[in-house]
Structure 1
Amino acid sequence: MATTLRDLLDDPALGLSLLVDGDLDRPIRWVHVSELADASPYLDGNELILTTGIWRQRGTEALDFVRALETKSVAGLGYGLLNPCDSVPHGLIRACRDEGVPLVLVPTETPFIAISQRFVERLHNKREGDLRASLAFMSDLIASADSPDPATGLKAVARILHRETGHGAWITDGSGRLLAHTGRMPDRDYLQTVAQNMRIHPNSNGSVRALRNGSRITALIGLAMDNTGILAQARLEASVPVVGLVLARERTIRETERRLAGELVSLILARQEQAAAARMTSYGLNPHKPNVAIVAAVADAETALGDAERWLDAEGLNGVVTLRASQLHLIIEDSATTSHADAYASTLVRAVTATAAGVGTLAPDIRSLRKSLVQARQACELGVRRGGGTVVSQQLAGRHSLLLALQDQDVLDSFRDALLAPLEDYDAKHSGDLVPTLRAFLTSGGKWQQTADHLNVHVNTLRHRLARVEEVTGRRLDDTSDRVDLWLALETLRSET
């Protein structure tokens, strides 16, 4: 706190007496001794002026002397007695009372230098205290950045800001999504409005600071107050790089976890059960206990991935999530039944704004987890074709797509190449479009005119192409067995993805 006239009056070592009351809590800028008739040209305001009244011997009136000081809004006037029998002039007391300038009596045993020394001591102590407080503040901030858990680190920063400023603090990401806060939870619409305004007008809010990556706002740090003082603004500014450090660590951890989660799903799909089991253990998942797979189709993949990670935390679920193409793949530890996972999938769809989700059967251990993943992928694709919603694995019974997806990829590749490689070679050399023509014909159920219309060709052109297909493959399109083989070969292209 700054030194005030009240502080000096309360100091028994100085022995000052109040003669004219006024604003005794105004911070004193400095202590000056002046015997000039007009000291105002040398003042900046809020000084305590000490005088023995020598200016009176030069004919200066007390009212003129005081008025000159009041033009600079001095904090007060101290009148020093040179002899014990002296007294403060009544004219000076009256002038101070009229002009609203506090007046104190300085006894003969108190030299002016004692007052100056006491003021400097208090100023030094204050500055030393401010420096210690700033060092402690920065030390606490740095300690929060060292927190192994980024969420805990951000909460610590918010608590430190609250402690230092006396106001609630909050931290959001660039979109206004709340990451940490103290005090009353800020309104969500307010935070989003602040984020939008800061993007348009970067300096529009004195109680908010933005962390930027180039022109993009990555985080906002704010105080729940309208007018921030210099100290609060300094504390806000100091917190920005620390929040940036915490978020950078969080991004590094998250990106590593995402990469490892992607490798886990790849290991399971590749039937590398031993390596997958070790990876599951590192995630806190037990490969020897029931787990279930959920796959969700999403439009905004990166946003959905972050939403899914937060959904797992919010639901208190032990699991991992990764992104493959435009699908989220989740493995969740579950000791219940598949119907329980169906409920998870329904809430997941809302949390990540998924177009569809698929649920695999409950896998008793890691040996069955690949089947659950494949089922979930196929169920998700079925959900997309149906126009959205959640599909559970039981609805896949009897579907050839699931049968293909569960096969060894080398077997599928060999089967497909035996039938389709000759057609693909022919198309590459002659631009014959035999593969897409065959797919369109079989998809239509063997309807000639419908297929021709779909391909936008004459029906005779279609007949010529399909005759070429039979010639190249050695299969007949009027034979059901051959049609099934060709259709399954075409479907293996989809099952690969």
Structure 2
Amino acid sequence: MVRVRDLVGMPELGLRPVVGTELLDRPVTRLYGTELPDPARYLSGGELVLSGLLWHRADGDCERFVSSLAGAGVAALAASPPEADDLPAALVEACERHGVPLLAVPVDLSFATITERVVLELAAERVGDAGAQLGRHRRLLTVVAEGGGLSELVEAGAAELGTPCWVLSCAGHVVAGPDLPGAAALVREFLVAERLPRVVRGVTLLPVTARGGGRLTAWILVVSGDRADDEAAVELASLVGVERARVVQGRRIENRAAGPLLRQVLAGGDAAARIADVGWDPDAPLRVVAASASDGPVELVAALLEEALAAVTAGFLLTTVEDEVYALAPSGPWVERVRSALRTAEPGLGTTRVLVGISSPAGHGGLRGAAEEASHARRLAERRLREGGLGERRLGEGGLGARRLGERRLGEERRGERQRAERGRGERRAGRTCVVAGEEIALHHLLLAGVPEDLRGSLRRRLLGPVLDYDAAHGSDLVGTLRVFLDCSGSWTAAAARLHVHVNTLRYRVGRVEDLLGADLSNFAERVDLYLALQAG
């Protein structure tokens, strides 16, 4: 990099600093000669400005000229008066006031000589930069060609850039690089950015997109500092993309066994042999995972689930069957981590709701049951989203949207599936994401799932009819009071606190319910009947 100090140090030029000796480390990007009184429109910053001061008529002209140079961010002003006089005092004062280095040009030195010498220096610098770029490119390509892997590539890129680097997935997983606190927050910044690269929180976020994928399925190259315009950072992001394609291809090869295995699991066949073929212990507990989306392509769901699982478990199989994504993985303490990983993708999902279900651990003999359990969990999560009033702009991670894959896909079964989905009820959960694992499905949900819809409605009406009619006629919510009272296991204090009413008010409302129904809510059996009636609607 050519600096003003380098030019001052060239004896053949004889440039003498007059003002701004502490500013001589400014880089020089080009030369510009001018005799205009205000040349600002022709300056872009970093110029060594040459002037014979032909514009100078009065002291006020110096202020106008120098302020235009300072506003443009020039590197320095090299000036030579038309006569053998000293530089105007007003010019010296203006340069000092505006922080513009002023160099005095010897009267016997032509501007052509200065131009030739500086141009040669700038040309040599550009050749050196090109050589450095070529060397960097070769070194990084060597890492890729020799199969060093993503971690080695990122490490080599960090060395070339002289600053730490990381690769993140949009599930918040650090794919390569050291630990990165706040990775999930950086992913959210990436997903909502209007344009990329983006500099935020002291780092630069560069996209590493997959072929045919959008931002949600991208990886993110994180480079410390402001590197939005750094060609080396952009080149590293491109090479990370090459490594990502290699990783994706490797996963596809590993998952070739997933389709037949999962189809056999869902069909209820003996999958032990196939499980052994993929290198897993056929007697070890496994979990079935499945996902679907309210709208949007199934490829997006597959990519999100794959990244989330890759972040939390080393071995899993994943495949797409029609409009749903299925996965099989060894059981482990990763359910909550999958929920956390998927939540980071929320800002970029828009109106799409992704429902994910995770079964309880099951041996290979019970995998079909695990798939059905996860399917019920997904429907339960969907119901929770609706009842929680979360709206259409919500991401729900809930259960396995498993449709039967055999010959029994009849219209009647479809109606039954919808009815059973309506029966699933769960209390509202905080946050925008709702994951339901198989262990969370309450027994009364399973009991009610086997009752026809018309019978459930009749049961609800028979037990709650007088209260329903009273609420309709008076605009009250005694049914809601009853629900909260039973949810609180008959605790007057807890129920009153949840309803934000005095305990005496609650006692009056519950007494009104008992009068209307002819019931005794201190009787456990009657409480159970009424609770099931509430859940049946």
TM-score, length basis structure 1: 0.51
Moved more, 65-74 or 378-387: 378-387
In 1, Cα distance between equivalents of 2:143 and 2:213: 25
In 2, the alpha carbon distance for the partners of 1:162 and 1:270 equals 50
Among 356, 366, 371, the alignment partner of 2:360 is 356
Would the alpha carbon gap of residues 104 and 88 (structure 1) be closer, same or farther in structure 2, given more than 3 Å must change?
Answer: farther
**Counterpart residue type for residue 358 of structure 1:** A
* Residues 151-203 of structure 1: CA deviation (Å, up to 9, x unaligned): x32x3454455445554333223344332235x614143034224414xx455
Cα deviation, 1:267-321, whole Å, max 9, x if unaligned, reads 9989998xx89x95xx7x69xxx874443232338566665555553xxxxx774
1:65 shift after superposition: 6.2
Per-residue CA deviation, residues 224-272 of structure 1 (Å, 9 max, x unaligned), is: 56755532xx444444443333222222211111104666899998999
Asked if 1:16 corresponds to 2:15, the answer is: yes
Report the counterpart of residue 208 of structure 1 in structure 2.
205
How much identity, in percent, do the aligned residues show?
19
Residue 145 of structure 1 deviates from its aligned partner by: 4.5
Partner SS for 1:243: helix
Length-normalised TM-score, structure 2: 0.48
- Please say if residues 165 and 221 of structure 2, whose CA atoms lie closer than 8 Å, have aligned partners that are also in contact: yes
Equivalences for 1:55-454 in 2 at 5 Å?
55=54, 61=57, 63=59, 66-67=62-63, 69-73=65-69, 75-79=75-79, 89-90=85-86, 92-93=88-89, 95-100=91-96, 101-107=100-106, 111-146=110-145, 148=147, 152-153=149-150, 155-156=151-152, 158-159=154-155, 162-163=158-159, 165-181=161-177, 185-198=180-193, 201-202=194-195, 205-206=198-199, 207-210=204-207, 211=209, 213=212, 215-223=214-222, 227-228=226-227, 230-231=229-230, 234-260=231-257, 292-300=283-291, 302=302, 311-313=312-314, 321=317, 345-347=331-333, 354-359=358-363, 373=364, 375=365, 377=367
RMSD: 5.2
Distance 1:162 1:118 in 2: 36
State the SS of the aligned residue for 2:124. Answer: helix
Q: What does the per-residue CA deviation read over 1:386-430, in whole Å, with 9 as the maximum and x for residues that have no partner? A: 99xxxxxxxxxxxxxxxxxxxxxxxxxxxxxxxxxxxx9xxxxxx
Q: 1:202 to 1:116 in 2, by over 3 A?
A: closer
- Unpaired segments ≥5 residues, structure 1: 314-318, 331-343, 360-372, 388-423, 425-452, 458-497
Give the aligned length: 338
Match of 2:516 in 1: none
Distance 1:103 1:204, change over 3 A: closer
Which deviations, in whole Å up to 9, do the C-alpha atoms of 1:301-358 show, x marking residues without a partner? 8566665555553xxxxx774669887556xxxxxxxxxxxxx734366666732222
CA distance in structure 1 between the aligned counterparts of 2:27 and 2:373, rounded to whole angstroms: 72
- Counterpart-to-counterpart distance in 2, 1:33 and 1:328: 68
Structure 2 CA distance, aligned partners of 1:111 and 1:357? 86
Indicate conservation of the 8 Å contact 2:38/2:64, yes or no: yes
- Separation (CA, whole Å) in 2 of partners of 1:455 and 1:9: 91
- Rg larger in structure: 1
Q: Distance in 1 between matches of 2:12 and 2:245?
A: 55
* Alpha-carbon distance in 1 for matches of 2:184, 2:239: 26
Aligned partner of residue 299 in structure 1, secondary structure = strand
1:30 is aligned to 2:30: yes
Name the amino acid aligned to 2:206: R
Q: Judging changes above 3 Å, is the alpha-carbon distance between structure 1 residues 181 and 41 closer, same or farther for their aligned structure 2 residues?
A: closer
Letter in 2 for 1:345: S
CA deviation map 1:367-402 (0-9, x unaligned): xxxxxx5x4647857988999xxxxxxxxxxxxxxx
Taking the aligned partners of 2:77 and 2:152, their CA distance within structure 1 comes to: 47
Q: Deviations over 1:55-89 (max 9, x none)?
A: 59xxx55746644531431543435699xxxx963
Greater RCO, 1 or 2 (C-alpha within 8 Å, sep 6+): 2
- Taking a change above 3 Å as real, the CA distance of residues 349 and 294 of structure 1, as seen in their structure-2 partners, is farther
Cα distance change on mapping 1:97 and 1:165 into 2, 3 Å? farther
Mapped to 2, the partners of 1:221 and 1:271 lie a distance apart of 38
Structure 1 letter corresponding to 2:133: S
1:219 Cα offset (Å): 1.4
Q: Partner of 1:347: helix, strand, or coil?
A: coil
How far apart are the structure 1 equivalents of 2:187 and 2:372?
Answer: 36
Is the 2:286–2:361 contact (alpha carbons within 8 Å) kept by the matching residues of 1?
A: yes
- In structure 2, the residue corresponding to 1:358 is in which secondary structure? coil
The aligned amino acid for 2:66 is E
The 8 Å contact of residues 290 and 327 in structure 2, kept in 1 or not, is answered as no
